Amino acid sequence: MSRRMSRRPLTVFRAFLAVCLLAVTAGACGSTRPETLVVLGPWTGPEGDAFEAMLHRLDDGTGRTYTYQGTRSLRETLVAQLEAGDPPDVAILNSIGELTEYARANRLTPLDRAATARAYPPWAPRLDVNGMRRTYWVPLKVDLKSLVWSKEGRSAAAPEWCVGLASQATSGWPGTDWVEDILLHQAGPATYTEWAVGRLSWRDPRVRRAWTTWAQLLGDRSKASIDRSLTTSYVGTAGPAKGDGKGGDGGGPRGLLDSFGPRCTHEHQSAFIRYVYADDRVRVDPAAGFLGGRPAYDGAYEVAGDMAAVFTDDPAARALVDRLSSKRARTLWRAGAADELRPFFPDATDPQPTDPTGRRIAEILTGKARTLCFDASDVMPPGVRDAFHRAVLQYFRQPSDDRLDELLGHLDTVRTEAAADAGPGRLPESGICAPPGG
């Protein structure tokens, strides 16, 4: 064998190795990219099982697999993973205030065109970040909040309200829902939006009136009743084991209407609570008629949502969000969930719940509502939102004028500090309230 011929295999191998090293980031020659994408979300128990089953059925033909991490401490888990430099590929959050902060900090990757087309307002307003207006998240499931649940046959003229404000680290949010809904129906979407994005003082008479209206609607309460509401979960007390539509592990919540005794006749709560009232004994109605609002705003409804965002630069993560927000994914999700846990989706053409209560809510959400406004506390920066949660707990305990003045003054200080930190990427007012999309 000649010397020239003996060197050729080595030369070819070196050339192949050089090409392989250049291509490794594109997936050739034994890519170092992990084969599994991680999705972090808020659902556990039966609801988490239904989502995870759908996730595993979204085969993309690439050989990539997906793993779902469900947690009831979503914000804390995500922050810890980000600080450790090991974020999930996709996270599902219900706070667009938090998502906005992540986008401004360049933690999020803008979505591809397919997902962007499903970013229905008011769940996913576009943001101006780094000189470009783009979409950073898309709703996977949504909920209608402006609802009142009541025992069949009980008069709406003099309701006795059940209130449960406890919710682990986020206790107080059922109270913020009251204040937000009252303000929306008393002052209208424009005022609601201005307040939600931090451009209206908490001491504005319209905002103050929403707080005092809440106290008036609840009426006089004993210390024992107040303490019970402050320590009772929003899902009530234990009963037969059921899944937790808000992300619980099962354990049998009975609902406030069933666990607060015969005097409790009405509850102000989001559509998700239907899983504890999946029978004919409880009816659901729009909240507007109960809140002392103006008839002109009866067609306005507060909504919430769970939005998917990409936290890595892996193109497969963006592709996964495209698939998660598709009609096929929603069809699979709905088919795999129990009747009372079937999600609501923002597009009227998407599959919706078929149980009687679910159908009634879906008709309002995608048909009868004229204006949908995103949950105001979830629009606010996290610091303002957390202060709002604490304030409603304090006001519920001591609903005096002096106490309210003190609380609203503090909230205004927190709002001003947050506004001073706001820069590019601030939420646009036009995206907080919008006609039903799809």
Alpha-carbon distance of 346 to 143, in angstroms, equals 9
pLDDT score of 337 more than 70:
yes
Contact 268, 177 (CB under 8 A): yes
Q: How far apart, in Å, are the Cα atoms of 145 and each of 217, 269, 302, 338?
A: 18, 6, 5, 21
pLDDT score of 5 more than 80:
no
**Whole-model pTM?**
0.88
Q: How far apart, in Å, are the Cα atoms of 298 and each of 27, 281, 377?
A: 55, 25, 21
Rounded to whole angstroms, the maximal C-alpha distance in the chain is 103
Under the banding of pLDDT at 50, 70 and 90, the label for residue 265 is: very high
CATH code of the domain made up of 36-143+306-352: 3.40.190.10
Q: DSSP letter for 366, please.
A: I
Provide the residue ranges of all domains of the chain, joining segments of one domain with +.
Answer: 36-143+306-352, 145-303+362-434
Can you give the pLDDT at residue 419?
A: 85
Among 166, 174, 172, which Cα is nearest to 232's? 166
**pLDDT, mean of residues 96-120:** 93
- Treating both helix axes as pointing N-terminal to C-terminal, what angle do 401-421 and 205-218 enclose, rounded to 10 degrees? 130
CATH code of the domain made up of 145-303+362-434: 3.40.190.10
pLDDT score of 246 more than 90:
no
Alpha-carbon distance of 179 to 215, in angstroms, equals 10
Alpha-carbon distance of 269 to 284, in angstroms, equals 10
Domains 36-143+306-352 and 145-303+362-434 share a fold: yes
Under the banding of pLDDT at 50, 70 and 90, the label for residue 13 is: very low
Can you give the pLDDT at residue 7?
A: 35
Can you give the pLDDT at residue 2?
A: 35
Alpha-carbon distance of 258 to 264, in angstroms, equals 8
Contact 189, 297 (CB under 8 A): yes
Containing 20, the helix (H) or strand (E) segment is: helix 3-23
pLDDT tens sequence across 274-315: 988 876 688 999 999 999 999 999 999 999 999 999 999 999
